[in-house]
């Protein structure tokens, strides 16, 4: 008697959302909260709280974005084919901050870091909605990094108690944070790519925090990881396009917070090779993409001055070139995920490595970079 009737199946996203709903309100109960804090650890509570909050908020942000018109329309260098809401970054930011507040322990530098990230995200949100010229976004980012430096979040590459050392540390801090903030924004060109890369970077930052007994660093990294994982099912689907994008608000927030957290961290005791190589390896995919396109654009004459470099928008990033080779976006995304994870594992192994092992690990990363460069160059020829 059931022949001819259509059986309606429940979408996996609805099931995911319902389970996240149950998890969120379970974590809100005093008994469960106390159980995690006393028995299972704060890090797991923060991870699950940020995860469930992001999973709950993302569909809500999708509806709001569609109604107020904060959407990404196809065309130009964009490779998606449908109008897509852009407020995924807001869900990420709220869930990230909520996870940290649920922990109830923050130091002054944590507050400065989160505040700076919020300012950068607000500028990105305005850009998603109304549009802002690149030079003004860059100006705000530099000012916010200066605020971080004044708050004590600064690189320690040169003697900090000399004027020249402090100025060089400040300069390289600005270059590091602003560069990686925009590199994360640039790599946000395929479904799930920026959120997935951010999740992988957060994971390895959290592992380093565990290795080096830095709880504050670990809590921030875990909150970011949970937020990314709660958002990804809506942004990276194997058989359908993303239902929501991060937008500039989300991608710049990722890049800013994670790069600033790397500055705030202590990487090694009296081991300059580990201190330098570990964060570079963890962030290498972003560093490589930014460096490669900058050099290629200058050498090819596409940009002739700093203003051209800021304003230039192209389809020459790592994911564009790999797409020309693989012909499938999901293959490209997974390739970059595995590349990022491979280099992250190399960074983790450096912790207890001998100096010669550290040097060999860096050489290995360089050789991997050469392989990827050959692939990218091949992709460049395919794009012509």
Q: Verify that 172 and 223 share a domain, yes or no.
A: yes
Q: How high is the mean pLDDT in each 10-residue block of the chain (384 residues)?
A: 53 86 92 86 92 95 90 66 85 94 82 93 90 90 95 87 90 95 92 95 94 89 96 88 90 95 76 78 92 85 78 81 88 94 89 76 85 79 60
Question: Degrees (nearest 5) of the Cα angle 65, 83, 186?
Answer: 85
Q: Which of 234, 266, 298 is the last residue of a domain?
A: 266
| Domain range enclosing 94 | 9-177+188-266
Based on the domain organization, do 321 and 212 belong to the same domain? no
Q: Which two tokens stand for residue 4?
A: 């001819």
Q: Are residues 153 and 279 in the same domain?
A: no
Same domain, yes or no: 79 and 146: yes
DSSP 8-state code for residue 85: E
pTM exceeds 0.85 for this model: yes
Asked if residue 203 lies in contact with residue 213, where contact means CB atoms within 8 angstroms, the answer is no
Residue 3 within any structural domain of the chain: no
How far the first Cα of the chain sits from its last, in Å, is 59
Q: Which residues face 72 on adjacent strands?
A: 84
Residue 281 near residue 353 (C-beta atoms within 8 A): no
Q: Which residues share a beta bridge with 71?
A: 85
Distance of CA 222 to the CA centre of its chain: 13
């Amino acid at each position: 008697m059931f022949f001819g009737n259509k059986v309606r199946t429940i979408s996996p996203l609805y099931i995911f959302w319902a389970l996240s709903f149950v998890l969120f309100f379970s974590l809100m109960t005093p008994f469960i909260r106390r159980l995690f804090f006393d028995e299972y650890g704060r890090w797991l509570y923060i991870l699950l709280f940020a995860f469930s909050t992001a999973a709950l908020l993302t569909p809500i942000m999708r509806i709001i974005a569609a109604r107020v018109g904060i959407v990404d329309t196809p065309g130009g260098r964009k490779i998606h084919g449908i109008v897509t809401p852009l407020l995924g970054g807001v869900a990420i930011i709220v869930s990230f901050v909520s996870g940290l507040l649920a922990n109830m322990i923050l130091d002054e530098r944590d507050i400065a870091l989160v505040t700076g990230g919020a300012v950068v995200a607000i500028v990105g949100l305005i850009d998603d909605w109304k549009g802002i010229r690149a030079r003004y976004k860059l100006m705000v980012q530099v000012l916010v990094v200066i605020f971080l430096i004044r708050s004590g979040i600064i690189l320690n590459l040169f003697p900090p108690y000399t004027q020249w050392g402090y100025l060089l540390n400040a300069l390289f801090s600005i270059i590091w944070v602003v560069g990686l903030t925009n590199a994360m924004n640039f790599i946000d060109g395929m479904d799930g790519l920026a959120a997935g890369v951010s999740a992988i970077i957060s994971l390895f930052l959290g592992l380093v925090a565990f290795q080096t007994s830095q709880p504050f660093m670990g809590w921030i990294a875990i909150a970011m990881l949970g937020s990314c994982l709660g958002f990804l099912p809506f942004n990276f689907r194997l058989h359908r396009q993303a239902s929501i994008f991060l937008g500039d608000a989300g991608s710049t927030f990722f890049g800013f917070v994670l790069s600033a957290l790397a500055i705030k961290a202590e990487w090694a005791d009296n081991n300059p090779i580990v201190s330098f190589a570990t964060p570079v390896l963890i962030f290498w995919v972003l560093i490589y993409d930014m460096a490669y396109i900058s050099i290629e654009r200058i050498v090819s004459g596409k940009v002739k001055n700093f203003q051209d470099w800021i304003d230039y928008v192209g389809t020459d990033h790592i994911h564009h070139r790999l797409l020309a080779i693989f012909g499938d976006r999901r293959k490209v995304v997974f390739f970059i995920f595995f590349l990022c994870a491979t280099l992250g594992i190399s960074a983790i192994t450096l912790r207890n490595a001998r100096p010669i092992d550290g040097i060999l690990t860096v050489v290995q990363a360089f050789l991997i970079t050469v392989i990827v460069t050959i692939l990218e160059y091949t992709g460049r020829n395919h794009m012509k």
